[in-house]
Amino acid sequence: MGDLNLARVLYTVGCFLAFMLILLYAYGRKAKKTYPEQAQRIIDDPDTPDDTSNTRG
């Protein structure tokens, strides 16, 4: 039973560390520099579909 609990603890710690790494990547200083640019790209994107997006005949 002790091995199963150890595996559960290691899995939980691993998931927590992965979550923290994702947060650091998403909210890090390098990523924050591109937020205004990415937001503007969404606004500037035309709302009409491309001719190539319709693949049905």
Instruction: Read off the pLDDT of residues 15-51 as tens digits, 9 standing for 90 and up.
Output: 999 999 999 988 888 877 888 888 888 888 887 766 6
> pLDDT tens, 3-24?
999 999 999 999 999 999 999 9
Predicted TM-score of the model (pTM)? 0.56
CB distance 25 to 31 below 8 Å: yes
Please report which confidence band the pLDDT of residue 1 belongs to, taking 50, 70 and 90 as the band edges.
Answer: confident
**pLDDT reported for residue 10:** 98
Distance of CA 46 to the CA centre of its chain: 24
